[in-house]
Amino acid sequence: MATKKFLVDIHTHVYLPRYASLLRSRSSVPKIISLNNQERLVILPNESTAGRPVGPQYWDRDEKLKFMDRHGIDVSIVSTANPWLDFLTPTEAQKIALELNDDLEQYCSTSPVITGPENSKALKRMYGFGLLPLVPEITTRSLLDAVKQISESPHLKGLIMGTRGLGKGLDDEALDPVWDAIEAAELVVFLHPHYGVDSSAWGERDNGHVLPLALGFPFETTTVATRLILSGVFDRFPRLRLLLAHSGGALPQLSSRLASCIDHDPVVASRLKHDARFYLGKLFLDAVAYGSEELGFVSDVLARARHYEKGARYGSSTTPRSAGSDRMLFGTDHPFFPPLNSTEKWRSVVENLEAIDKVQGWSSVDKDAVRGGNALSLFNLDMK
Ligand code: 5CU
């Protein structure tokens, strides 16, 4: 009997009803406002005061399931969308993190079961990434309690994290006990941007959300992942599993330049066990890049990483692409990037699926793995 190939969406967001109510109760950003009987979401720094329309697709699980069915998505690993709990006090963040993790566990555990091949493990349609109350002045104890709660929630397989940490970024050594607990619990960390970069770089012309989303988001991810590499987090926690949004931003393109800059700085170089390019092979990247050439390039860079042990100066250009595709995973970014006209399928989703399909040098096995197989193994959902 042919084994069914699963399509698994690992980059798909929700504002759970409790979180949406919190946003409705606020008068400053982030907030949900009502304008002419239409709810609007205002979350991005420098976003116009009118934000953009929001509706049930942001919080209603049935809408997510309809979207999944329309696009042939079997399983979704759902995460709270930005800006998570970043704007709350430690007391507020701690309380709502635990509540939202329980809400998400409930959202996933009561989702429909999916039929797999004979004798397979039954899967739910939804699994989730929980939240930590990562805000300045939170206690390490509160963070560890949330890691424990997530690891004990059967349908939560990891956690989503922004880039601010406790206010000093993710290369802050105060986070070491948290990385340690996450690594021990074998949870996947989904690193996701929100703030972009200094908006003065965008000039004065009104380009809507284009520059912050197309460039600012991925540049933020590039910076945070680079700082993590430079801080030695991957040397101290070698089994940590980090999944970067938007195919790792510009990091794959800049990784050899980064390695060269480190080489010319003996102080920084002495802190690291390996060439910078080695650490890219420790990362998992979503395949939300919208183009097959970009996906092929990124998988080449990931494949090359394994040749960069300490002391190795040149990666092999003969490494097959498929060796990098095993760390790349399909995602949609739903409910963001909806079609401008009502169409059967969302262009943003179709483009990402077509991009996977057309990568030169990926076999059909590699493509199936990026569409779902890699996610099933990363999140221990393999049907056995
Ligand atoms: O369109 C947007 O603002 C966003 C966002 O805020 N978060 C995200 O994941 N994708 C798009």
pLDDT in tens, 321-371: 778 999 999 999 999 999 888 778 999 999 999 999 999 999 999 999 999
pLDDT at 315: 63
Q: Whose CA is nearest to atom 10 of ligand 1?
A: 336
C-alpha 194 to ligand 1 mean position (Å): 8
On the question of pLDDT at 120 being above 80, the answer is no
Q: Is residue 383 part of a domain?
A: no
**Predicted confidence (pLDDT) per residue in 244-264, tens digit:** 999 999 999 999 999 999 999
On the question of pLDDT at 318 being above 80, the answer is no
Pocket test for ligand 1, best of 29, 54, 246, 336 (most atoms within 8 A of CB): 336
User: Average pLDDT in the 105-112 region?
Assistant: 98
Sorting pLDDT into bands at 50, 70 and 90, what band is 212? Answer: very high
On the question of pLDDT at 384 being above 70, the answer is no
User: Average pLDDT in the 30-46 region?
Assistant: 92
Pocket test for ligand 1, best of 217, 221, 337 (most atoms within 8 A of CB): 217
Q: For residue 254, which phi and psi values (nearest 5 degrees)? A: -100, 5
Of the candidate ranges 27-31, 172-176, 308-312, 376-380, the one whose mean pLDDT is the lowest: 308-312
Q: Is residue 226 part of a domain?
A: yes
Please tell me if the CB atom of residue 41 comes closer than 6 angstroms to any atom of ligand 1.
no
Alpha-carbon distance 324 to 374, whole Å? Answer: 11
Please tell me if the CB atom of residue 32 comes closer than 6 angstroms to any atom of ligand 1.
no
Q: Whose CA is nearest to atom 1 of ligand 1?
A: 336
Q: Which residue has 């309809």 as its token pair?
A: 66
Tokens linked to 264 = 């010319």
- In this prediction the pTM is 0.96
Q: Is residue 218 part of a domain?
A: yes
User: Average pLDDT in the 101-114 region?
Assistant: 97
Q: Is residue 119 part of a domain?
A: yes
Please tell me if the CB atom of residue 82 comes closer than 6 angstroms to any atom of ligand 1.
yes
C-alpha 122 to ligand 1 mean position (Å): 32
Alpha-carbon distance 117 to 129, whole Å? Answer: 26
Please tell me if the CB atom of residue 348 comes closer than 6 angstroms to any atom of ligand 1.
no
Q: Where are the alpha helices (DSSP H) in 214-309?
A: 217-231, 233-236, 251-263, 266-271, 276-280, 292-305
C-alpha 336 to ligand 1 mean position (Å): 6
pLDDT at 115: 79
**Strands, E assignment, the chain:** 8-14, 31-35, 38-42, 52-53, 75-80, 113-114, 123-124, 126-131, 156-161, 188-191, 241-244, 283-286, 328-329
Q: Is residue 384 part of a domain?
A: no
**Predicted confidence (pLDDT) per residue in 216-225, tens digit:** 999 999 999 9
Alpha-carbon distance 283 to 248, whole Å? Answer: 9
Alpha-carbon distance 321 to 300, whole Å? Answer: 5
pLDDT at 10: 98
pLDDT at 50: 85
pLDDT at 118: 58
Please tell me if the CB atom of residue 213 comes closer than 6 angstroms to any atom of ligand 1.
yes
Q: Is residue 1 part of a domain?
A: no
CATH number at residue 237: 3.20.20.140
Pocket test for ligand 1, best of 14, 42, 54, 82 (most atoms within 8 A of CB): 82
**Predicted confidence (pLDDT) per residue in 162-177, tens digit:** 999 999 999 999 999 9
pLDDT at 1: 46
Q: Is residue 284 part of a domain?
A: yes
Q: For all residues of the chain together, what is the average pLDDT?
A: 94
pLDDT at 259: 96
User: Could you identify the atom of ligand 1 that is nearest to the CA of residue 212?
Assistant: 3
Please tell me if the CB atom of residue 81 comes closer than 6 angstroms to any atom of ligand 1.
yes
**Predicted confidence (pLDDT) per residue in 192-204, tens digit:** 999 999 989 999 9
Q: Is residue 3 part of a domain?
A: no
Please tell me if the CB atom of residue 338 comes closer than 6 angstroms to any atom of ligand 1.
no
Q: Whose CA is nearest to atom 11 of ligand 1?
A: 336
**Residue 243 belongs to domain spanning:** 8-378
Residue 176: which H helix or E strand, with range? helix 176-185
pLDDT at 117: 59
Residue pair 179/237 in contact by the 8 Å Cβ criterion: yes
- When divided into structural domains, the chain yields a total of 1
Please tell me if the CB atom of residue 44 comes closer than 6 angstroms to any atom of ligand 1.
yes
C-alpha 260 to ligand 1 mean position (Å): 33
Strand partners, 156: 128
